[in-house]
Structure 1
Amino acid sequence: METTAEEFFHDFRQDLLAGAEANGSFLLAEFMDVVSRELTETGFTEGFEFAHYRAQRGMRVDGYWFNDEGGLNLFVADFDSRTELASLTRTDVDAAFKRAVNFFDASLRKNLAADLEITSPEYGLARQIADRKSLIRHLNLILVSERILSDRIQALPDAETAGIATSFHIWDISRLHRQRSSRSHKEALDLDFEAMFGTGISCLPAHLGTDAYQSYLVVMPGPILSTIYEKFGARLLEQNVRTFLQARAKVNQGIRTTIMTEPGMFFAYNNGITATAQGVETKRTGDGLQITRITDLQIVNGGQTTASLFHTRRKDKADLTQIFVQMKLSVIDNEESEKVVPRISEYANTQNRVQAADFFSNHAYHIRMEEFSRRLWAPAGKGAQRETKWFYERARGQYADAQAKLTPAEQKRFKAENPKPQMLTKTDLAKFENVWDDHPRYVNLGAEKNFARYAARIGKEWDKSSDSFNEAYFKRAVARGIIFRATERIVSAQPWYNNGYRANIVAYTLAVLSELTRRQEKSLDFQRVWNAQAISPVLESTIAVVASRVNDDLLRPMQGISNISEWAKREACWTRMLENMDEFADLLPDEFDCECLSRDDHLSEKRAARNTQKVDNGIEAQTKVFAIPAARWIAVHETLAAKRLLTPKEIGILNVAMQMPMKIPTEKQCVVLLDTIEKARAEGINID
C-alpha cells in the first residue's frame, strides 16, 4: 500500500522527532543527518559533514563534502520543523541558493574565515574553500527541504559561481518520498545525449535471437564518457564498482599512458566497459542506429577506465577526442534489476575480483547477518515489556519493503517488533566495527570509503574463518551500535560541545576506548550491553570524560591544517592520540574494570561461539541438501563427471547423495555438496 506525499511527510516528521530525542540532537541537525544518509547510501554524495552557518548578510550553509574529483557539494536546508506539508516556491528556492552562493563567494574571495570562530565547523569549511581555490572544478548546490516543490519549477540550468561551474539540485519531501518508494531504492539517472551533447551514440543491437532482454554494442566517445562521470561521479557506477574504486587508486597508469601517448590505439588496447540500463531510446540516422537516451545507466565493470579518462583529462589536460571505448549495454527490466545487475557485475569483474566481487549485498556474510537479525530477539530494555529485534538491511529498502503489503494492524505489529531506531544498514555496521577493530580514520573518510575498507577486511576474515561470524558476533555488533549511538547522544549533551565535529569526536572516542582495553589485555563486555540494550552509568561517564579529552586533541591540529574534519582523516591524528594513550588511561575511573572481560574470558567466549556456528552450519547444509531430490544429484554427477570436473572426494559424496533417502550424507559431506552445487550452477545446471 503506497503512501501519499502528505502521509510520508507526517511519518518523516515523527521519525525526525523521535530521532532527535533519542540522539540528543537539535531538529535541524537530525534533519540533515537523516537526509544526508539517504543521499550517501544512494550514491548522490560520497559523504557529508555538518556545518551550520547563518548570517544576517544573506549567507547560509548547513553541510558540505569535498570529493576526489575536484567537486564540492554545499548543502543548504529549508527546515523550520513545520507541522503541515507546505509548498516550496521559486522565490524560496532562489533565495536559498543565493544564500549558499554568497557563503561560497565570501569564503573564496572575501576571506570570510577571518570573521569566524576558529574552532567552528564553518571556519574550517570557509578556510578549506579558500585553500582549495585552484582545485575546485565543480560546485554542486543542494537544497534539502521539508516542503514540497511547486510544479511550476521544472529545470534549474547550470551556471557559474566565481568562475566555477555550478549545478543546482533540490531534494524536497516528494523527491525523498519517491526515492524511498522506488523499487530500485535509488534515483535513476536520465541521460538525454542529444540535449547534453547534441548527438546520439552509435550502437549495434546485440539481442537478436532472444526476447529475454535487449543488449547493444556501443562505441562511446571518450569526451562524452568523461563528461558524464564529471557530472554524476559515483552515481554512474554500480554500488559494488564504487566500493572497488574506493579501495584502489583512481588512475590506472597503463590506461593513462595509452591516453597520453597512443590515444588512437585506446579502443584496441582497452577491454571496454560493461553497463546496464532500465531503458533505452534509439533512432535511425544516416550513420546507422543511435542511442539518444538512457534511463539509469550503471557501469558494472570498467569503473577504473571511466575514472581514469576523467582524471587524465583533468590533471594532465589530455585530449580525449581520439579516444573511443567499447561498451556492452544490457537493458534490464526494473523488476529484474535487483537480482540480475549484481550477477552481471559479479561475473564481469572476475578478472579483478575483490573478495567475492567486492562484498555484494548477496555475499554469504550479509545473508548470515540478515538471518540473525530476523531470528534473534533482543532482551527487553529497561522499562520495556516486550522483546524486539534489530533489523539488518542487507539490501537497501528491505525495511520498507517488509511492510509494503501488510495491513495497518500488521504494520503496527512489525514496527513494534522491529523499531525504526533498531534498523541497521551495511554502512552502519561498517562504522560500528571499524572504530573498534580497525581505524577511526576510515570512519571519518565517509561512508563509501569506510565501507570499502571494511569490505576488504571482513572478506579476508570470512575466507579465513566464516565460523567466527556467528550469533555472538552479531550481538557484539549490535552492542557496538548501541554504544556508538549512545556516544553520539552523550557528546551532544556536553557543555563543551559547540555543535560541530560530533562524528569525528565519536569515532576517536570509541577507538581510544578500544585501544585502552586492548593494552590492558581486556575486552569491553559487549554481552552485558546486549543484555541490557543500553550502556551502564559507569560506561556513560567514562565515555564523557574520554570524549572531552578527544575533543581537546582534535581541536589542536598539526600546523598547516585548518579544517578539523580534514585533520581527523589524517594518519597523524590517530598517531598523536596513540602517543598520548597514557594520559587517556589516567582518565578511566576504577569502576571501568567492571565493564570489561579478561582476555582469557573473551577468547573462551569466542571459541564457544565458533563451535556453535560450526554445528549450525552443518544443520543448515543438511537442510538445503535434503531439499534437492536424488534425481537432481544424478544430473549433477553425470554433467560434472563428463567434463572431468569432480575430485575423487566429490564423487564419493555424490554417490551418497544420489541414494537419498536410502543413504544420508553427514553434516560435513553436506557442506561439500553445497560447494559442488555452485560448481554445477557454473556449468549451467539448474538446481533450484
Structure 2
Amino acid sequence: MTDQAQVGFVHELNQRLQDRIEAEPELMMRDAFVSHVGEHLIDDGTLDDLETCYLHMPWQNRRVEVAGYDITSAGTILHLVVAEHGLFGAPVKRDRIDQMIRRAGAFADFCRGGNHELLERSSPAYDMAQRIHEGWPEFQMIRIFVLTDGTASIRKMPEVTVAGLPTAVQIWDLTRIQRLTSNGGEQEEILINLSELGYAVQCLESPQQADGYRCLLTVLPGRLLADLYHEHHSRILQRNVRAFLQARGKVNKGIAETIQKEPGRFLAYNNGVSATAKAARVDPGPTGPILRELTELQIVNGGQTTASLHHAARRGLDLSEVHVPAKITLISDERLDPMIPDISRYANSQNAVTSADFEGNSPFHVGLERLSRSLWTPADSEGKQRRWYYERVRGQYDVDRGRNTTPARRRQFDLDNPRTQRFGKTDAAKYEYASERRPDVVCLGGQKCFLRWTEEEQLDKREAPAPDYFRHLVAKAIVFAEMRRLIRREGFGGYLGQTTAYTVSLINERLGGLDLNLIWHMQRLPDELAEIVLVSARAVRQVLINPPGSGNVTEWCKKPDCWEAVRAVRWEPSAAVQQAVGAR
C-alpha cells in the first residue's frame, strides 16, 4: 500500500468507525473497530460470528485482555480477538503483538479455571468467561486474531500451545484489513502451494468447456485436506455454505468410523469433494500431470468430509492411508460468484444443503435492493425525501457512493441515502424476527438469525417483494433502532441488543402488532409508542438478567423459554396506546 493510499484508507476507516459510534454512542472506538473488522471477517468466512466484549484486568501475576470471542457451531474451536487501535498506520511493535497474544492466552487460562466468578455477575464479561468455561471440555484448538490499525511486518505466527490447546495466531494489520474491506468486500485470496506443503498430487485435466471453465480430476491425501482445514477453517468452504461442520450426523459418524477401522477403504466408500479454484498450476511429471498450486480454493461439496478428517487428525488418528477423490472446477473471476451456488446445489448429494446456504443473489434480495433504490420516504417538515439503502452485498454502499466522482454529487448521494438509513441482510432478519415475536432467534447472532430467516421463509424460492413489504420492513427498522436508542439512553448497562429485541417483541405482543403504515409515513416512533418503551424494557430486563439456576444471560436469551418467561410479565399498555399505535 502506498503512503497516499494508506492515508486515504486510514481516513476512510476512521470515518466508518465514527459513523458507527454516532449510531451507537455507547461504543468505545476500540469496540467499534473490532465490530467493523469482525463483520468483514464473518462475511469473508474467516470467522463464523463474533461477540464483541472487552475485558482487561490483572489476574494472579498476569494480565488478562480480550476484545471479543466466538465458539464455532461445532463447539470445538474457540476464537479469541485482541485489538490495538489508534496507530493510524504506524508500525505496530512486535513486543506489543507478543503481549496481546500472551494476554489472550492468560484469558483462556482464566476461563478454563472457572475464574468467571471473579467478575461482576451481571456483566457481559462474566457471560463470556462463563460460556467459554462451560464449553472448554469440547475445545480442540484455539485461534487468536490480532486486529490492529497499525502495520505489521508479520502476518502469521507459528502454532503454539495455549492453556493446553494447540493455538494458531492470525495478524490482521492495516494492509490486510484494507484488502479485506475494499472492493466491495472481496475475500483475501488464498494461494495453496502443494509442493511447499510436501505433496505431489497427480491429476487429469479436461479440455476447456464451452462455458469457459475446465476441470481437474484428482485424488487428494486425507492429511492434506485436514491440514488445509486446520489452516483456513471455514474460509476454504464455499462462503455461503457454513453449516454441517460437526461430525454428528450418520454420514459424519460413518466417515469417522471408516478412518478408524478401515482407512484403506475410504477412497472406495467416500463420494469425494467438489471444489472450485480461480487458477491452478499443473506441471508435467514422469507419470502424468502434477498439480502444484491452487489459487482461491473453495470446497463447495465435501465440507463434512473435510471437517471430519480434521477432527480425526486432532484426535490422533492416522490419515496416511486415507485418500479422497476430488473434482476441482477452474473458473475465472467474472464467472465465479454466479456459478458457485449452482455447483453447490447440484453437487451436494451426501448431506442436503439447506436453502439458507445460498444467500445473496435470490430474486427476493435483488428485489429488496431495487426497491431501496427507487422508493422515497414521505417528505419531512422541510419537504425533503430520502431513501433507505438496502446493502445486499457488504461494501455496496461505499462502491455506489464512490461512483459519484465529484464532491457535489457525493454530497447529494449522502443526502439521498444517509448512512444511518443503510441496512443489510442480517439487519433485515433481526428486524423481522423481533417484530414477529421471536427475540430468542434475534439473540442467536446476525449470521445464525439470517440463516434461520432464509431457511424458514424459503427466501431462495421467493419472488421479489412488493413495495408495501419494503415499507413495512423499513418501519420495523425504525422501531428497532429508535427503541434501542431510548433503552441505551436509560443506561441499563450490558445486554443492550438482547433487551431491545425482547422489548420490541413484547410491545408487539401486547399491541397485537404495530401500525407500520403510520410509522413509515412518520419516519419515527409515534409519541405514544415511545412513552411505553422504557416501562416495558425495565420489565423485560428483570427476566433477562435473572436466568434460571444463575445460568448464563447470553445463552438464556437465545432460548424460547426466555421468551415465554418475558411474555408472562405483568405489564399492559393502556387502551389509549393500543388505539393510537396498535396494528390496524
Partner of 1:98: 102
Shift of 1:62: 1.5
Instruction: Summarize the Cα distance change of 1:568–1:277 in structure 2 as closer, same or farther, 3 Å threshold.
Output: same
* Separation in structure 2 between the aligned mates of residue 359 and residue 321 of structure 1, nearest angstrom: 35
* Separation in structure 2 between the aligned mates of residue 65 and residue 384 of structure 1, nearest angstrom: 46
Partner of 1:10: 11
CA contact (8 A) 2:229 2:310 kept: yes
Shift of 1:71: 0.9
| Aligned partner (choices 515, 526, 536) of residue 526 of structure 2 | 536
Shift of 1:191: 2.8
Instruction: Summarize the Cα distance change of 1:546–1:216 in structure 2 as closer, same or farther, 3 Å threshold.
Output: same
Instruction: Summarize the Cα distance change of 1:255–1:78 in structure 2 as closer, same or farther, 3 Å threshold.
Output: closer
SS at 2:138's partner residue? coil
Which one-letter code corresponds to 2:78 in the other structure? L
State whether structure 2 residue 468 is matched by structure 1 residue 472. yes
* Separation in structure 1 between the aligned mates of residue 15 and residue 379 of structure 2, nearest angstrom: 23
Map residues 521-600 of structure 1 onto 2, 5 A cutoff.
522-559=512-549, 561=551, 563-578=552-567, 580-581=568-569, 583=570, 585-586=571-572, 588-598=573-583
SS at 1:132's partner residue? helix
* Separation in structure 1 between the aligned mates of residue 156 and residue 255 of structure 2, nearest angstrom: 39
* Separation in structure 2 between the aligned mates of residue 253 and residue 353 of structure 1, nearest angstrom: 13
Map residues 357-506 of structure 1 onto 2, 5 A cutoff.
358-381=357-380, 386-409=384-407, 410-437=409-436, 439-459=438-458, 466=463, 469-497=465-493, 500-506=494-500
CA contact (8 A) 1:284 1:290 kept: yes
CA contact (8 A) 2:155 2:171 kept: no
SS at 2:458's partner residue? helix
CA contact (8 A) 2:433 2:439 kept: yes
SS at 2:241's partner residue? helix
* Separation in structure 2 between the aligned mates of residue 267 and residue 459 of structure 1, nearest angstrom: 35
Which one-letter code corresponds to 1:362 in the other structure? N
* Separation in structure 1 between the aligned mates of residue 112 and residue 256 of structure 2, nearest angstrom: 34
Partner of 1:298: 298
CA contact (8 A) 1:241 1:300 kept: yes
Instruction: Summarize the Cα distance change of 1:39–1:208 in structure 2 as closer, same or farther, 3 Å threshold.
Output: closer
* Separation in structure 2 between the aligned mates of residue 325 and residue 423 of structure 1, nearest angstrom: 45
State whether structure 2 residue 37 is matched by structure 1 residue 62. no
* Separation in structure 2 between the aligned mates of residue 238 and residue 182 of structure 1, nearest angstrom: 19
SS at 1:124's partner residue? helix
Shift of 1:548: 2.2
* Separation in structure 2 between the aligned mates of residue 353 and residue 153 of structure 1, nearest angstrom: 40
SS at 1:326's partner residue? strand
Q: Per-residue displacement from partner, 1:492-539 (whole Å, max 9, x unpaired)?
A: 222332xx322222222222223323xxxx320122222222223432
Partner of 2:135: 132
Which one-letter code corresponds to 2:442 in the other structure? V
CA contact (8 A) 1:222 1:321 kept: yes
Identity %: 30
Partner of 2:192: 191
Q: Per-residue displacement from partner, 1:568-627 (whole Å, max 9, x unpaired)?
A: 22333223323x14x1x33x35543145344xx4xxxxxxxxxxxxxxxxxxxxxxxxxx
Shift of 1:300: 1.9
Instruction: Summarize the Cα distance change of 1:355–1:61 in structure 2 as closer, same or farther, 3 Å threshold.
Output: closer
Partner of 1:665: none
Which one-letter code corresponds to 2:306 in the other structure? T
Instruction: Summarize the Cα distance change of 1:193–1:185 in structure 2 as closer, same or farther, 3 Å threshold.
Output: same
* Mean CA deviation greater in 444-453 or 206-215: 206-215
CA contact (8 A) 2:85 2:150 kept: no
SS at 1:51's partner residue? strand
CA contact (8 A) 2:272 2:326 kept: yes
SS at 1:157's partner residue? strand
Map residues 9-48 of structure 1 onto 2, 5 A cutoff.
9-28=10-29, 29-48=31-50
* Separation in structure 2 between the aligned mates of residue 58 and residue 527 of structure 1, nearest angstrom: 53
* Separation in structure 2 between the aligned mates of residue 85 and residue 339 of structure 1, nearest angstrom: 36
* Separation in structure 2 between the aligned mates of residue 350 and residue 363 of structure 1, nearest angstrom: 22
State whether structure 2 residue 256 is matched by structure 1 residue 254. no
* Separation in structure 2 between the aligned mates of residue 357 and residue 134 of structure 1, nearest angstrom: 30
* Separation in structure 2 between the aligned mates of residue 595 and residue 90 of structure 1, nearest angstrom: 61
Shift of 1:426: 1.4
* Separation in structure 2 between the aligned mates of residue 45 and residue 342 of structure 1, nearest angstrom: 20
* Separation in structure 1 between the aligned mates of residue 411 and residue 141 of structure 2, nearest angstrom: 45
* Separation in structure 2 between the aligned mates of residue 375 and residue 211 of structure 1, nearest angstrom: 34
Shift of 1:470: 1.3
Instruction: Summarize the Cα distance change of 1:221–1:135 in structure 2 as closer, same or farther, 3 Å threshold.
Output: same
Instruction: Summarize the Cα distance change of 1:271–1:23 in structure 2 as closer, same or farther, 3 Å threshold.
Output: same
Partner of 1:77: 83
Instruction: Summarize the Cα distance change of 1:597–1:483 in structure 2 as closer, same or farther, 3 Å threshold.
Output: closer
Instruction: Summarize the Cα distance change of 1:312–1:168 in structure 2 as closer, same or farther, 3 Å threshold.
Output: closer
CA contact (8 A) 1:219 1:326 kept: yes
Shift of 1:350: 7.9
Shift of 1:541: 3.3
Partner of 2:176: 175
SS at 1:203's partner residue? strand
* Separation in structure 1 between the aligned mates of residue 500 and residue 190 of structure 2, nearest angstrom: 35
CA contact (8 A) 1:355 1:460 kept: no
Shift of 1:474: 0.7
* Separation in structure 2 between the aligned mates of residue 149 and residue 335 of structure 1, nearest angstrom: 31
Which one-letter code corresponds to 2:388 in the other structure? W
* Separation in structure 2 between the aligned mates of residue 438 and residue 327 of structure 1, nearest angstrom: 45
CA contact (8 A) 2:437 2:508 kept: no
CA contact (8 A) 1:46 1:446 kept: no
* Separation in structure 2 between the aligned mates of residue 254 and residue 447 of structure 1, nearest angstrom: 29
Shift of 1:44: 1.8
* Separation in structure 2 between the aligned mates of residue 95 and residue 457 of structure 1, nearest angstrom: 45
Which one-letter code corresponds to 1:130 in the other structure? H
Shift of 1:159: 1.0
Shift of 1:380: 4.5
Q: Per-residue displacement from partner, 1:18-69 (whole Å, max 9, x unpaired)?
A: 3212223223333333222222222221112122111255321121111133
CA contact (8 A) 2:155 2:170 kept: no
Partner of 1:122: 125
CA contact (8 A) 1:141 1:168 kept: yes
* Separation in structure 1 between the aligned mates of residue 203 and residue 414 of structure 2, nearest angstrom: 49
Instruction: Summarize the Cα distance change of 1:210–1:593 in structure 2 as closer, same or farther, 3 Å threshold.
Output: closer
* Separation in structure 2 between the aligned mates of residue 357 and residue 350 of structure 1, nearest angstrom: 16
Q: Per-residue displacement from partner, 1:427-486 (whole Å, max 9, x unpaired)?
A: 2211211222263222222222222211112217965xx58x311111111121222222
CA contact (8 A) 1:217 1:329 kept: yes
| Gapped regions of structure 2 (runs ≥ 5) | none
* Separation in structure 1 between the aligned mates of residue 402 and residue 492 of structure 2, nearest angstrom: 44
* Separation in structure 2 between the aligned mates of residue 184 and residue 204 of structure 1, nearest angstrom: 34
The alignment yields a C-alpha RMSD, in angstroms, of 3.0
TM-score for the superposition, normalised by structure 2? 0.89
| Gapped regions of structure 1 (runs ≥ 5) | 602-688
Instruction: Summarize the Cα distance change of 1:88–1:212 in structure 2 as closer, same or farther, 3 Å threshold.
Output: same
Map residues 632-671 of structure 1 onto 2, 5 A cutoff.
none
* Separation in structure 1 between the aligned mates of residue 406 and residue 306 of structure 2, nearest angstrom: 47
* Separation in structure 2 between the aligned mates of residue 112 and residue 353 of structure 1, nearest angstrom: 41
Instruction: Summarize the Cα distance change of 1:48–1:154 in structure 2 as closer, same or farther, 3 Å threshold.
Output: closer
* Separation in structure 2 between the aligned mates of residue 169 and residue 102 of structure 1, nearest angstrom: 17
Number of equivalences: 573
CA contact (8 A) 2:273 2:324 kept: yes
Q: Which has the larger radius of gyration?
A: 1
Partner of 1:272: 272
Partner of 2:222: 222
Shift of 1:365: 0.9
